[in-house]
Amino acid sequence: MQDLLSPEKGDQAALLDRIRNLVLSGEFPPGANLPEAYLAQEFDVSRTPVREALKQLQHEGLVEIRPKVGSFVREPTRREIIELFQLKESLEGLAASLLARRGEVRELGILRRNLDDSEAAAQSRDKEAYARLVHEFHWAIVRGSDNFKLVEHYERLMNQLAYQRLVLRTVEHPGRIAASTQEHRAVLKMIEHKDPFGAESAMRNHVFASSREALATDSTSESKST
């Protein structure tokens, strides 16, 4: 990770990323207030571009703006997390299907290498590295779909899931790592076989299984069951 509060001035799009990272990294935990004046001073800009960025983040679902009160980091409810995982399953399934249809592309090499690295990380109990590799595996498939609109929606989705917080917890389960790697292999195999239906199915199974784990370990907000 790069320094998150570096005062170097950047672009206007960079400001949005900076503030988003403040939220995603947990620097500002759920419920925290994000005062415009503070952020403006911190990033050495005026309140106007900060306001624009905060509005974007509200639109992305990361921030809640209460009129005349302030901007607060939004805590996704358990129900929302379930909903987002259902979407994740669907979108990643589509991505795997599209990738399988594409044939031999550069992304396959990335995936193969990723799997080898993942197993190495699992063997050496390097949870940090493993979590990162899992993340990269999923992203490689989505990017490999060669559908940029899908990538856009997926990015939005993952931001809303605040994935960085969830993945690490999931990895705590020792049994899950082995199963997850197995499922990744199954997905890759289907893609290599150019089997769109098989790839989609394998991917969806995998996402479903891992979401079960994530939700089991999840301790988010209300216990209001669905």
Binding site for a copy of itself (CB under 8 A): 48, 51-52, 55-56, 59, 61, 80, 83-84, 86-87, 89-91, 93-94, 98, 147-150, 152-153, 156-157, 160
Q: Does 45 bind DNA (CB under 7 A)?
A: yes
Q: From a copy of itself, DNA, none, which one binds at residue 194 (CB under 5 to 8 Å depending on kind)?
A: none
**Separation of alpha carbons 180 and 182, rounded Å:** 5
Exactly one of 3, 8, 67, 149 binds DNA (CB under 7 A); that residue is 67
Structure token pair of residue 195: 């089997």
**Separation of alpha carbons 50 and 19, rounded Å:** 9
- Beta-strand ranges (E) seen in 145-223 are none
Shortest gap between Cβ of 93 and a copy of itself (angstroms)?
Answer: 7
Q: From DNA, a copy of itself, none, which one binds at residue 224 (CB under 5 to 8 Å depending on kind)?
A: none
**Separation of alpha carbons 145 and 110, rounded Å:** 13
Q: From DNA, a copy of itself, none, which one binds at residue 160 (CB under 5 to 8 Å depending on kind)?
A: a copy of itself
Q: Does 7 bind DNA (CB under 7 A)?
A: no
Exactly one of 1, 3, 7, 68 binds DNA (CB under 7 A); that residue is 68
Q: Does 215 bind DNA (CB under 7 A)?
A: no
The smaller minimum CB distance to DNA, of residues 40 and 215, is found at 40
Nearest of 179, 22, 170 to residue 85 by alpha carbon? 170
The smaller minimum CB distance to DNA, of residues 67 and 175, is found at 67
Shortest gap between Cβ of 200 and DNA (angstroms)?
Answer: 41
Q: Which amino acid is at 10?
A: G
Whether 142 and 175 have beta carbons less than 8 Å apart is answered as: no
**Separation of alpha carbons 116 and 136, rounded Å:** 13
Q: Does 12 bind DNA (CB under 7 A)?
A: yes
Cβ-in-10-Å burial (0-12, 13-18, 19+) of 123 comes to exposed
Q: Helix, strand or coil for residue 7?
A: coil
**Separation of alpha carbons 205 and 103, rounded Å:** 22
Instruction: Collect all residues with Cβ–Cβ distance below 8 Å to 181 and sequence separation of at least 6.
Output: 115, 118, 119, 122
Q: Does 160 bind DNA (CB under 7 A)?
A: no
The smaller minimum CB distance to DNA, of residues 44 and 116, is found at 44
In whole angstroms, what separates CA 156 from the centre of its chain? 9
Q: From a copy of itself, DNA, none, which one binds at residue 66 (CB under 5 to 8 Å depending on kind)?
A: DNA
Shortest gap between Cβ of 52 and DNA (angstroms)?
Answer: 7
| Residues at the interface with DNA (CB under 7 A) | 12, 34-37, 45-49, 51-52, 65-71
